[in-house]
């Protein structure tokens, strides 16, 4: 029975559905001559349909999780060729299929085919996650379910709503890109040193863990999924464990992840002690005093912030991200940090129903510090992946800032502005996932081709790797928030949120928010400078090392395709941001019960989040304008055939001759002005050693320059903590005499005390 979709939606909103359906029915029949009515059947059909949708959306989500598990399990088969062969012998398959299978199972082909299969299944998981996310965002409702796993009295509760759906979308897109990229990238690993089984298994578990976190609807399940995600990613960070530095980074990561997890557990514990049960529904009902709610908030902020990497608890991030394989760092930086953001949003906006503006201020200040600190530290890094990791700290800072704004507006009774802030934060999370993935995967290609991540060893790659360089440029432009790209839109929305400060009464907030907006502007400008440096040093100028002189474009199509996909999305959502904003409106509606005013969505061309009188931006018009201006000048200035071709000539060398690559500006030279202006931000150790020669020891024969730039956090925060723990351990150590009689005495005394306590 063909039923137009519009009628279902119409029927859902009406108080007198039969009547309205009847009128619609009349109208439709008059127009099209269709022969159907019977509203009763229609309603049955509709409820059946909705049930089916519920099933379908959840099945999609489950399938995504199962696929990621399956890809992990599949990876374990890498060394089991004979067993797989024996198993498949028994399965009846048609002749053509059998030949193909036999071909795949030959000793030389098997590893390659299996790796491809693992990544195809992983990609399928990503695709299903995207579909599930889109489906739930469109349906605008929440789907709940229970799985009979877990504790006997507490089955795993599952809830799949718009917020989860949106993060499913983020995870899905990233996983699809990574699985297109993966096969080409992992080829470089030698099986003996870096077994694929480990990589594939933990990648699958990692993705599954992230998806399960998004699905969890009780604290117990949430923590299990969270730990699955953390521990699986620990093994991925430790994948190249032959290097002691990598082992240290992985341990630091594990340590901080667990401390964070403890904080989250305590946060849930505070909530649970006021509620009956561990399900999120029960936690929502919990009636907390302001003090306890604030304690829960601080614990959640500590736990999720540690995972998200806000300053000063970001130190694991720049250590762990560079040492993981590039596609894993892309997932960790692009997606896992977002899962932490999801956790914070779920905890603060959903579970703790009343937010307080003081929390918003905390988030705003921490976010501002993270954003500025992150980008300033990023600027000084010579290692590309380390730089990108620090830039993630910056972007997470921006997200936290805008979340803080949303909280402030929410607590002051402006849910519409809170919706705007939440929307800007989520949109930035989405954008950051896209362009940071793009840049990390690009960094992976560079590492693959040049065998180094040191920016000072690169240069001139734009001619040798034209495609990679172009795609990387798009990533750099997006992250520098230039107009026409997606990064700009979310930053624009963030500014728009901050500029609505006029509605607030509190004088402190009214002056704090504009200052943080200016800090955001400084962050954006510094990010642009940082990524000019990155692109300029890596791709432009003359090659600075032999490797980059001989570099070639990567020949694996998949690796480039993944970059193209992400770059295309960066541009697409920069031009058509309203698509995402429409989806995000549903999230805001579900979370804080408010959406943006409707005129945002009336047209795909205009972005006017508050109202057209307040602010508007039309990326498509800007694009058309740029194209016209560019095309016209390009055509007009090159009309004359005599001067159309350019003449190539030697670069001007001031008449001295012998211009070489070492005379270019280097990474540390480019950032020297910043180092001087913001000197207090880093711990700078700069040494210049000169060797003298000649009769009076006055001529310089050679000169060495050493620069070390370090984070303030280590000596100021972590070393005292480590010191304190060590001395505490030494104190406790005094009672450990090593003498069995003393230990028996301890047991005896303990027993006496316990008995005494019991008998009281």
Partner 1 sequence: MNWLLAIVQTLLFVALAPLLSGWLKWCKCHLQNRKAPSLLQPYRDLMKLIRKQPVVAEHASWIFTRSPYIIFSAMVLAASVVPLIAVDLPTAASADVIVLVGFFAFARFFLALAGLDIGTAFGGMGSSREMTISSLAEPAMLMAVFTLTMTASTTNLSLAIAHVLNEGLVLRPSFVFAMFALILVAIAETGRVPVDNPTTHLELTMIHEAMILEYSGRHLALIEWASQLKLMLYGVLIANIFWPWGIAQNFSIHALGYGLLAISGKLAALAVFLSISETLVAKMRLFRVQEYLSFAYLLGLLGMLSHIILEASR
Q: Which two tokens stand for residue 214?
A: 């998004």
State the Cα–Cα distance between residues 204 and 424, nearest whole angstrom: 31
Nearer to partner 1, 268 or 573 (CB): 573
Alpha carbon of residue 110 to chain centroid? 33
List, in sequence order, every beta strand (DSSP E) within 675-723.
Answer: 683-693, 699-710
Q: Counting contacts by CB under 8 A, is residue 242 touching partner 1?
A: no
Q: 154-160 and 143-151: which strand pairing?
A: antiparallel
The owner of tokens 């790796």 is 115
Only one residue has tokens 């990064």, namely 487
CB-nearer residue toward partner 1: 386 or 544: 544
Is the C-alpha dihedral spanning 178, 184, 189, 191 positive or negative?
Answer: positive
Distance CA 633, CA 656 (A): 36
Kindly state the smallest distance separating residue 318's Cβ from partner 1, in Å: 22
Q: Positive or negative CA dihedral for 479, 481, 486, 487?
A: positive
Q: Does 521 bind partner 1 (CB under 8 A)?
A: yes
Asked if residue 193 binds partner 1 (CB under 8 A), the reply is no
Site for partner 1 in 580-599 (CB under 8 A): none
Binding segment for partner 1 (CB under 8 A), chosen from 64-72, 346-354, 496-504, 578-586, is 496-504
Does position 555 interact with partner 1 (CB under 8 A)? The reply is no
> Between residue 449 and residue 468, which ones bind partner 1 under the rule CB under 8 A?
459-460, 462-463
Could you tell me the smallest distance in angstroms from the CB atom of residue 369 to partner 1? 16
Binding segment for partner 1 (CB under 8 A), chosen from 411-419, 507-515, 565-573, 723-731, is 507-515
> Residue 414 in 3-state DSSP?
coil
Q: Does 646 bind partner 1 (CB under 8 A)?
A: yes
Q: Check binding of 525 to partner 1 (CB under 8 A).
A: yes
Question: How many of the other CB atoms lie within 10 Å of CB of 11?
Answer: 17
Stretch that binds partner 1, among 173-181, 638-646, 688-696, 728-736 (CB under 8 A): 638-646
Dist CA 375 CA 393 (whole Å): 8
By the rule CB under 8 A, 259 interacts with partner 1: no
Instruction: Name the token pair of 688.
Output: 């210049």
* Rounded Cα gap, residues 235 and 200, in angstroms: 11
Shortest Å, Cβ 333 to partner 1 = 23
Least spacing, CB of residue 709 vs partner 1, in Å: 16
Residue 522 interacting with partner 1 (CB under 8 A)? yes
Number of residues binding to partner 1, judged by CB under 8 A: 84
Does 676 participate in binding partner 1 (rule CB under 8 A)?
yes
Shorter beta-carbon distance to partner 1: residue 147 or 669: 669
Over the range 315-353, which residues count as b (16 or more CB within 10 Å of their CB) and which as e?
bbbbbbbbbbbbbbbbbbbbbbbbbbbbbbbbbbbbbbe
Among 182, 260, 367, 536, binds partner 1 (CB under 8 A): 536
Largest CA distance in the chain: 109
Among 529, 582, 683, 707, binds partner 1 (CB under 8 A): 529
Residue 605: both structure tokens together? 């061309």
Q: Which is nearer to partner 1, 105 or 622 (CB)?
A: 622
CB-nearer residue toward partner 1: 47 or 633: 633
Out of 101, 228, 542, 601, the only residue in the binding site for partner 1 (CB under 8 A) is 542
Tell me, letter by letter, the H, E, C secondary structure of 302-337: HHHHHHHCCCCCCCHHHHHHHHCCHHHHHHHHHHHH
**Rounded Cα gap, residues 362 and 375, in angstroms:** 20
649-668: which residues touch partner 1 (CB under 8 A)?
Answer: 649-653, 659, 661, 663-665
CA distance 606 to 600: 7
Map the footprint of partner 1 across residues 724-743, applying CB under 8 A: none
Q: Is 677 among the residues that bind partner 1 (CB under 8 A)? A: yes
Nearest approach in angstroms of CB 372 to partner 1 is 11
Among 669, 725, 751, 754, binds partner 1 (CB under 8 A): 669
Query: Which residue of 26, 83, 273, 633 would you call a contact of partner 1, by CB under 8 A?
Result: 633
């Amino acid at each position: 029975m063909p039923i137009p979709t519009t009628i279902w939606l119409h029927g859902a909103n009406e108080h007198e559905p039969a009547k309205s359906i009847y009128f619609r029915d009349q109208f439709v029949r008059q127009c099209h001559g269709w022969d159907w009515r019977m509203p009763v059947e229609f309603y049955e059909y509709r409820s059946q349909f909705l049930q089916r949708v519920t099933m379908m959306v959840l099945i999609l989500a489950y399938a995504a999780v199962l696929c990621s598990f399956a890809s992990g399990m599949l990876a374990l088969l890498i060394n089991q060729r004979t067993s797989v062969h024996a198993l498949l012998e028994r399965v009846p398959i048609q002749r053509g299929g059998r030949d193909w299978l036999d071909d795949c199972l030959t000793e030389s082909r098997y590893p390659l085919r299996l790796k491809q299969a693992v990544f195809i299944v992983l990609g399928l998981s990503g695709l299903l996650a995207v579909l599930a996310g889109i489906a739930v965002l469109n349906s605008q409702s929440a789907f709940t379910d229970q799985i009979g796993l877990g504790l006997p009295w507490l089955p795993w509760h599952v809830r799949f709503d718009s917020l989860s759906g949106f993060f499913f979308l983020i995870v899905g897109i990233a996983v699809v890109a990574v699985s297109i990229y993966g096969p080409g990238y992992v080829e470089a690993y030698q099986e003996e040193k870096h077994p694929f089984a480990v990589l594939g298994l933990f990648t699958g578990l990692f993705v599954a863990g992230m998806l399960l976190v998004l699905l969890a609807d009780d604290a117990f399940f949430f923590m299990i999924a969270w730990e699955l995600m953390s521990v699986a990613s620990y093994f991925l960070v430790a994948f190249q464990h032959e290097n002691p530095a990598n082992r240290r980074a992985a341990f630091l990561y594990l340590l901080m992840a667990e401390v964070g997890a403890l904080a989250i557990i305590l946060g849930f514990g505070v909530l649970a002690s006021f509620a009956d049960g561990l399900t999120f529904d029960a936690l929502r009902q919990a009636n907390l005093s302001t003090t306890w709610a604030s304690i829960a908030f601080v614990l959640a902020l500590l736990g999720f912030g540690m995972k998200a990497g806000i300053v000063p608890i970001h130190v694991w991030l720049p250590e762990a991200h560079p040492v993981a394989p590039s596609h894993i760092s892309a997932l960790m930086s692009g997606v896992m940090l977002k899962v932490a953001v999801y956790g914070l949003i779920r905890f603060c906006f959903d579970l703790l129903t009343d937010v307080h503006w003081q929390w918003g201020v905390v988030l705003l200040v921490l976010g501002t510090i993270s954003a500025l600190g992150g980008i300033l530290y990023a600027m000084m890094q010579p290692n590309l992946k380390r730089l990108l990791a620090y830039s993630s700290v910056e972007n997470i800072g921006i997200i936290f800032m805008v979340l803080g704004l949303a909280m402030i507006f929410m607590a002051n009774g402006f849910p519409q502005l809170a919706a705007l802030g939440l929307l800007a934060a989520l949109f930035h999370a989405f954008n950051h996932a896209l362009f940071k993935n793009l840049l990390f995967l690009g960094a992976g290609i560079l590492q693959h081709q040049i065998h180094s991540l040191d920016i000072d060893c690169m240069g001139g790659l734009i001619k040798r790797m034209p495609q990679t360089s172009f795609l990387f440029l798009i990533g750099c432009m997006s992250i520098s928030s230039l107009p026409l790209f997606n990064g700009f839109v979310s930053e624009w929305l963030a500014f728009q949120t901050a500029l609505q400060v006029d509605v607030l009464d509190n004088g402190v907030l009214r002056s704090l928010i504009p200052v943080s907006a200016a800090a955001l502007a400084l962050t954006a400008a510094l990010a642009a400078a940082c990524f000019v440096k990155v692109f300029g040093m890596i791709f432009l100028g003359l090659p600075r090392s032999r490797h980059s002189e001989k570099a070639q474009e990567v020949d694996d199509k998949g690796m480039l395709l993944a970059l193209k996909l992400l770059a295309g999305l960066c541009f697409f959502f920069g031009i058509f941001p309203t698509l995402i904003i429409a989806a995000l409106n549903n999230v805001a509606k579900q979370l804080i019960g408010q959406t943006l005013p409707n005129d945002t969505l009336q047209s795909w061309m205009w972005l006017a989040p508050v109202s057209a009188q307040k602010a508007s931006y039309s990326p498509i018009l800007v694009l058309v304008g740029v194209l016209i201006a560019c095309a016209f000048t390009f055509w007009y200035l090159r009309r004359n055939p005599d001067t159309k071709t350019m003449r190539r000539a030697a670069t001007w060398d001031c008449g001295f001759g012998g211009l070489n690559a070492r005379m270019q500006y280097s990474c540390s030279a480019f950032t020297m002005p910043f180092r001087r202006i913001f000197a207090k931000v880093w711990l700078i150790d700069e040494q210049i050693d000169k060797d003298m020669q000649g009769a009076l020891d006055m001529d310089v024969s050679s000169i060495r320059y050493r620069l070390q730039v370090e984070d303030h956090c280590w000596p100021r925060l972590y070393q005292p903590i480590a010191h304190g723990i060590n001395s505490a351990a030494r104190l406790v150590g005094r009672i450990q005499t090593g003498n069995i009689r003393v230990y028996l005495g301890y047991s005896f005394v303990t027993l006496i005390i316990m008995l005494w306590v019991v008998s009281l």
